[in-house]
Amino acid sequence: MSTPLSSTTPIRHFLTVDDLQPDELLAVLDLADDLKAQRPRPGRGPVSDFGTALAGHSIALIFEKSSTRTRVSFEVGVRELGGHPLVLNRDQLQLGRGETVADTAKVLSRYVHAIVLRTFGQDRLETLAEAGSVPVVNALSDLAHPCQAVADLQTIREYKGGLSGLKLAYVGDGNNVAHSLLKAGAMMGMHVAVATPPGYAPDAQVVDEAIELADPSDGRITITTDPVQAVEDADVLYTDVWASMGQEAEAAERAAVFAGYQLNTASLDLARPDAIVMHCLPAHRGEEITEEVLEGDASVVFTQAENRLHAQKALLLTLLGRA
């Protein structure tokens, strides 16, 4: 488990969701709500108090994996805060020709005020944070997707009015999204139930850490192979693709294994009548979720996608001490 950082720590990193204390996470959610309310909309002038908060700040956005929502939301977010985003992919950096992550971190720290990295191994983020001297943000790794989890909590609060005591059912692969939801929900006093096929459960260490995080908040963690048990009486139904980036060769095999772990109308019938449906996108309609459910009245997936922008702006302001 990551060691929580005090407010006096000079460099703040966000590599896993528990790099924030529970009260800090709530403060980020409150700030994200404020940013959303103040964001300029078509037909009205700017009203945000944060339009120059990152003036004079350059943020490196490095993508070693393809991206739509993460790239666009971070780039737009930095610009809306008055900063300068530098969007870079692996082929544009010497990383692609063998320069070490540590050397890259040391050099970029002389140029920019923060580094956002979307990558494969969590170790690359940890090395970047250890070797550099500016905040590092995990924009997705094979282990965790903490920015997604913050936006998810913001979305759930928006529709449910709170978090503590709610049941979130995640059905599908025990992947990076599941890992971050387990920790984030545990920190907020939620009951997070994860249902996966045998052999696809979340990482055991992550589960143990989530259970530890749930104790002081009166949260609860359930890991099962029974999707019915997970979705029964759930306030939130959540799923993700069955084959993540880098697992494309396993897609056909996984489709057969996960066939019984689809979010559909039967899932909704088992959940609470006012349950909401979430998906971090992109979705494979007809696989992990049906078209009917994804586009149905219970779906909040596009608000969830929008909230990536607001949550990530709040995270950057917090890490850079500009909130």
- Give pLDDT tens digits for 224-255: 999 999 999 999 999 999 987 667 778 788 99
Q: Where are the domains of the chain?
A: 17-144+307-319, 146-304
- The SS3 of residue 272 is coil
Q: Which residues contact 322 (CB under 8 A, 6 or more apart)?
A: 50, 53, 54, 81, 316
Instruction: Quote the CA–CA distance of 317 and 95 in Å, as a whole number.
Output: 27
If one compares 43 and 242, the residue with the highest pLDDT of the two is 242
pLDDT tens for 152-167 read 999 999 999 999 999 9
For the cut 80, the answer to whether the pLDDT of residue 9 exceeds it is no
- Which residue type, as a one-letter code, is found at position 8? T
Domain 146-304, classified CATH 3.40.50.720, yes or no:
no
Contact present, 16 and 180 (Cβ < 8 Å): yes
Contact present, 88 and 139 (Cβ < 8 Å): no
Instruction: Quote the CA–CA distance of 231 and 171 in Å, as a whole number.
Output: 8
pLDDT tens for 105-138 read 999 999 999 999 999 999 999 999 999 999 999 9
Q: Which CATH architecture has domain 17-144+307-319?
A: 3-Layer(aba) Sandwich (3.40)
Contact present, 214 and 22 (Cβ < 8 Å): no
Mean pLDDT of 31-49: 78
Instruction: Quote the CA–CA distance of 32 and 280 in Å, as a whole number.
Output: 18
Which H/E stretch holds residue 116? strand 114-118
Q: Which residue has the tokens 């917090």?
A: 318
Query: Which residues are registered as beta bridge partners of 114?
Result: 59
pLDDT tens for 248-305 read 778 788 999 999 999 999 999 999 999 999 999 999 999 999 999 999 999 999 999 9
Per CATH, 17-144+307-319 and 146-304 having the same topology is answered yes
Q: Which residue has the tokens 């490196």?
A: 60
The catalytic residues are 118, 145, 148, 240, 280, 308
Instruction: Quote the CA–CA distance of 280 and 131 in Å, as a whole number.
Output: 31
Q: In the chain, what percentage of residues exceed pLDDT 70?
A: 93
Q: Angle, nearest 10°, between helix axes 22-38 and 301-319?
A: 110
Contact present, 171 and 227 (Cβ < 8 Å): yes
Contact present, 247 and 253 (Cβ < 8 Å): no
pLDDT of residue 245: 65
Instruction: Quote the CA–CA distance of 73 and 113 in Å, as a whole number.
Output: 18
pLDDT of residue 10: 67
Q: In the chain, what percentage of residues exceed pLDDT 90?
A: 85
Instruction: Quote the CA–CA distance of 210 and 313 in Å, as a whole number.
Output: 25
pTM summary value: 0.94
Contact present, 40 and 54 (Cβ < 8 Å): no
